[in-house]
Structures are given as C-alpha cells and as structure tokens.
C-alpha cells in the first residue's frame, strides 16, 4: 500500500465500521439523543486518554478550535435529525436521504476547495444511490399505501437536512486539519466530541430523555457505540479526510449503508436477495469508479 492509498483505505474501513451506528441505535432502548450523548462522551474520553498517554498537545489556534467545535455540533445535529427522520419515514428511506451527503459534499468541494469533478463522478454517485435504494428496500413516495402525512414529509425534510449537516461536519474536519494547522487528529476529535456531547446533552434535556443507563444490554450498546463507532471509526475518517478530495470522501462514505446491511445480514434478521445483492455490487462498483476516475487530477 503506497502513501497515496492509505487515506482512501482508512476512509473505506472507517465507513464500514460506522455501519455499526444504525445497529447500535436499533439494539439499544434508550432515547436517541441520550445514546448520541454517550457516544460522544465515551468516545471523547477514550480519545483524550490516548492523547494524554501520547503526550499530545491540546493547545490549538482559535480557528482550529472553531472548526473542530463546528464539526462536533454539525455531527450532533446530523444524528439528531437522522434519528427523527428514521422514525417518521422508516430506516430504508432514511438511509437514502442521509446519504445524499455526497451531493452536498460535491457542492462544498467545488465552491470551497475548487475541486473539479467529472461526469463520471455524477454517474457513479447516481449509481451508488440507486444501489443503496436496492439494498435498503426503501419505498418511494409513489409506493402503494404510503401515507403522505405531515409527519412523513417532515421526515423527508429532516433526512435531507441531516445529509447537509453530515457534509458540514466533514468539511469542518477538513478545515480544522488543513496544512496550515498543526493539530493532531486525536486532539481534534477530542474537541469535536466535547462540542457534540454538550449539544446532545441539551437536546436530551429539552426532550426529557433520561441519561440513566437502565441495564447491561444498553451499557454494552453505548460502550460499543462510543468506543468503536466514535473512538475508532470517526478517528479513521477524520485522519483521512484532509488528504482526500471532499467529493471523493462523500462518495467513499457511501460504504456505510452497505456495511450496515452486511452486519444485519450476518448477525441479525436480514436475508440476502437478488435485488439487495445487485445493490451491493452496484454501490461498491460505483464507489470504486467514482473515486478512481471521478475527479480531475488537479484543482483550479
């Protein structure tokens, strides 16, 4: 593996590990904001311990701190809106809506970082979204029996909003770890988790969600959610993002719903069908071709 491919590999692996997010939320019985709170709190504490053991400096510039905290608030907002969207439109369509972050990241990449993208990128993006649709089995608005109530429409809006928040998080991470900044990725993630913890604590309090962990099942869930998903996966993602084009990062992170389906397939109730298999092949193929041939070699 050469140095050029290392960030891509780290991003792919991190994206697949992030697939545990949906599993953790579905497995736990606590409120979604409360679970998000523990994800950020435990992940932040674990990363802080690692930073201290490595004797990393927590001194950062105001600009770096601002973007790290902005990334944390954006990620917390993404989780908050996404969880609500799932309950209104279902997990299938919810997966498609939040993964529209790739379109948002392509726009951010073009205007903020002057990234030049090609027709192949957009074709790959549409192919991957189609693949995710086949994997999730999500309904569309025209499905028979779909109730276009106010809550359903609000769920669609919140799902799309979560996609924008997700993209803002990735962009903020990239800005906080730009070549002009000297912050270590672990330290950057500590500040990110801190800001997100405060945000989700306030959200849980406003909605009356208890922060009491009721049993060992939920304790195991929040530990895995915080230490593995936030402590490991997001660290891998945040370490790779500064070295990968924003548009490509958005495309590669579409591996997350594929990973979620595979986890469900191996350990839970999902069954492999010909449609979902085509969706997996289509999504992975689109990610490969889009990441390899979807952007121009240089930026304007």
Which residue has 């990725």 as its token pair?
A: 185
At 268 the pLDDT is 65
Gap between the Cα atoms of 79 and 254, Å rounded: 16
Gap between the Cα atoms of 267 and 222, Å rounded: 18
Tens digit of pLDDT for each residue in 76-108?
999 899 878 877 776 666 767 777 888 888 888
208 burial via Cβ count (<10 Å: 0-12, 13-18, 19+): exposed
Instruction: Give the mean pLDDT of 253-265.
Output: 76
> Any idea what the Cα angle at residue 122 is, between residues 121 and 126, rounded to 5°?
120
Which has the minimum average pLDDT: 2-6, 140-144, 190-194? 140-144
Gap between the Cα atoms of 206 and 28, Å rounded: 20
Tens digit of pLDDT for each residue in 229-254?
999 999 999 888 888 888 888 888 87
At 269 the pLDDT is 65
Q: Identify the DSSP state of 254.
A: T
At 179 the pLDDT is 64
Count the residues in the chain: 300
Nearest to 171 by CA among 253, 93, 270: 253
pLDDT class of 3 with cuts at 50, 70, 90: low
Cα Rg of the chain (Å, integer): 19
pLDDT class of 59 with cuts at 50, 70, 90: very high
Q: Retrieve residue 128's tokens.
A: 């991957």
pLDDT class of 294 with cuts at 50, 70, 90: low
- Non-local CB neighbours of 49 within 8 Å, separated by 6+ positions: none
Tens digit of pLDDT for each residue in 222-231?
999 999 999 9
């Amino acid at each position: 593996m050469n140095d050029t491919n290392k960030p891509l590999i780290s991003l792919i692996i991190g994206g697949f590990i992030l697939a545990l997010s949906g599993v953790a939320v579905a497995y736990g019985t606590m409120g979604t904001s409360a679970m998000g709170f523990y994800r950020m709190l435990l992940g932040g504490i674990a990363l802080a311990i690692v930073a201290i053991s490595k004797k990393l400096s927590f001194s950062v510039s105001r600009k770096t701190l601002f973007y790290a905290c902005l990334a944390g608030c954006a990620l917390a907002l993404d989780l908050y809106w996404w969880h609500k969207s799932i309950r209104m439109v279902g997990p299938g369509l919810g997966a498609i809506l939040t993964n529209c972050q790739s379109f948002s990241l392509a726009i951010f990449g073009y205007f903020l970082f002057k990234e030049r993208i090609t027709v192949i990128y957009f074709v790959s993006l549409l192919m991957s979204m189609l693949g995710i649709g086949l994997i999730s089995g999500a309904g569309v608005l025209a499905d028979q029996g779909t109730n276009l109530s106010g809550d359903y429409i609000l769920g669609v809006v919140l799902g799309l909003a979560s996609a924008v928040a997700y993209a803002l998080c990735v962009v903020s991470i990239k800005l906080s770890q730009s070549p002009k900044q000297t912050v270590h990725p672990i330290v950057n993630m500590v500040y990110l988790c801190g800001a997100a913890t405060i945000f989700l604590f306030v959200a849980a309090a406003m909605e009356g969600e208890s922060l009491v962990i009721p049993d060992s099942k939920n304790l195991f869930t929040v530990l895995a959610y915080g230490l593995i998903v936030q402590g490991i996966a997001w660290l891998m993602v945040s370490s790779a993002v500064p070295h990968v084009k924003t548009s490509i990062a958005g495309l590669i992170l579409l591996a997350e719903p594929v990973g979620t389906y595979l986890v469900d397939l191996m350990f839970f109730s999902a069954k492999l069908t010909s449609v979902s298999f085509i969706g997996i092949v289509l999504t992975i193929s689109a990610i490969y071709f889009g990441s390899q041939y979807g952007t121009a070699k240089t930026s304007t």
